[in-house]
């Protein structure tokens, strides 16, 4: 079973957090497996260095290296859309099972709540997730799903009060 939705500290000499060289945003380590799985075309002889994931919405950089001689990868270099950086639908929130922000919004409008997080949890428990190779952050999507649910509920409440 994949442990992608568990938190495991990795010992090492690289700092756990670095500032994005493009915009200065606080960025966390991402496993090289994630980078290699999602970058469209890796350069030959790419150095084996620690990479960081920049999730800042206005920044085009996605992965940047600790070793400044290694390449930085931008949105267009990836084979998937980076949900945290997207503004136009479909905005992915769960890469393993294909859920988008619109799916969550639709469920809330139709049923008053979203059960997408519960569906994902069921799949995770069954060992069916692969966040480390499908999600650009390399982490479990449940935090993003929870934020998307809260955003959709807030937008629905706002719409109801402006009527």
Q: What pLDDT score was predicted for residue 13?
A: 83
| pTM attached to this predicted model | 0.89
CATH 2.20.25.270 occupies which residues in the chain? 17-77
CATH 1.10.10.1100 occupies which residues in the chain? 83-161
What mean pLDDT is predicted for residues 144-155? 95
Q: What pLDDT score was predicted for residue 6?
A: 47
Question: Confidence class of residue 33 from pLDDT cuts 50, 70 and 90?
Answer: very high
In the predicted model, is pLDDT for residue 7 greater than 80?
A: no
Q: What pLDDT score was predicted for residue 4?
A: 57
Summarised one tens digit per residue, pLDDT across range 74-111 is 999 999 999 999 999 999 999 999 999 999 999 999 99
Fold classified for 83-161: Arc Repressor Mutant, subunit A (1.10.10)
Burial group, residue 104, by CB count within 10 angstroms (0-12, 13-18, 19+): buried
What mean pLDDT is predicted for residues 33-49? 94
CATH number assigned to the domain covering 17-77: 2.20.25.270
């Amino acid at each position: 079973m994949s442990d992608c939705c568990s938190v495991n500290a990795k010992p090492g000499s690289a700092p756990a957090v670095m500032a994005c060289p493009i915009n200065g945003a606080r960025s966390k380590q991402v496993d090289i497996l994630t980078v290699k799985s999602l970058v469209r075309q890796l350069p030959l002889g790419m150095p084996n260095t620690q990479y960081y994931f920049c999730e800042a919405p206005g920044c085009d950089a996605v992965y940047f290296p600790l070793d400044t001689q290694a390449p930085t990868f931008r949105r267009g270099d990836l084979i998937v859309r980076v949900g945290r950086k997207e503004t136009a639908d479909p905005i992915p929130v769960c890469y393993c099972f294909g859920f988008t922000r619109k799916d969550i919004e639709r469920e809330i409008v139709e049923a008053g709540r979203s059960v997408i997080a519960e569906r994902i949890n069921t799949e995770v428990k069954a060992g069916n997730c692969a966040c480390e190779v499908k999600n650009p952050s390399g982490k479990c999507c449940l935090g993003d799903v929870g934020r998307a649910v809260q955003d959709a509920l807030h937008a629905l409440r706002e719409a109801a009060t402006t009527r």
